[in-house]
């Protein structure tokens, strides 16, 4: 499964009809055909299916061709340094960090819990904090492997 369509189930674009691109091998022509066949697509989601590798040239081509579409990249925090910064600044970006202990978070969702993201590397320090209660929560009961129930696999 490398290319599929369905409603976005996560984040701020939840319920938007989306083309999910889950492989670096998907070409612009594949995306163009999928959009032609399904004109209600509004979002192109690269890195779908557990932060798969992204073909940056295809993203650039899509940005030029489909200016009215939401273009989202989901990238694992451990891989983000491999991507062109100017590209990342001009798309919707989801930075994913996966850890088994996050399952505890489900039991801590309340106004008194915060998530902190930090890097204390000299000359590049950043500390960001947000209340966990402000996060978009997703019901994963309909998740079937890398896609959600109702999604249609194209390729």
Query: In sequence order, what are the residues at sequence separation of 6 or more whose Cβ sits closer than 8 angstroms to the Cβ of residue 115?
Result: 129, 130, 132, 135
Q: What is the pLDDT of residue 47?
A: 95
Give the global pTM. 0.89
Give me the residue spans of the domains in the chain: 3-101+139-153
- Pairwise CA distance, residues 91 & 51, whole Å: 15
The alpha carbon dihedral of 26, 30, 32, 38 has a sign of: negative
Q: What are phi and psi of 98, to 5 degrees?
A: -105, 135
- Tell me the pLDDT of the chain (155 aa) as tens digits: 699 999 999 999 999 999 999 999 999 999 999 999 999 999 999 999 877 899 999 999 999 999 999 999 999 999 999 999 999 999 999 999 888 888 887 777 766 888 888 888 878 888 998 888 888 888 888 888 888 889 999 98
């Amino acid at each position: 499964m490398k290319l599929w369509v369905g409603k976005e189930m996560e984040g701020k674009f939840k319920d938007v009809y989306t083309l999910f691109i889950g492989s670096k091998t998907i070409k612009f022509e594949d995306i163009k055909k999928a959009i032609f066949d399904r004109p209600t697509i509004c979002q192109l989601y690269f890195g779908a299916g557990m932060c798969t590798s992204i073909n940056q040239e295809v993203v650039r081509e899509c940005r030029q061709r489909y200016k009215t579409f939401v273009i989202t990249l989901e990238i694992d925090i451990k891989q983000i340094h491999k991507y062109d910064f100017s590209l990342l600044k001009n798309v919707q970006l989801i930075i994913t960090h996966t850890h088994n202990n996050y399952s505890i978070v489900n039991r801590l969702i309340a106004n008194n819990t915060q998530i902190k993201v930090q890097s204390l590397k000299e000359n590049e320090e950043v500390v960001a904090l947000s209340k966990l209660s402000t996060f978009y929560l997703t019901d994963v009961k309909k998740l079937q492997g890398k896609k959600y129930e109702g999604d249609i696999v194209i390729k």
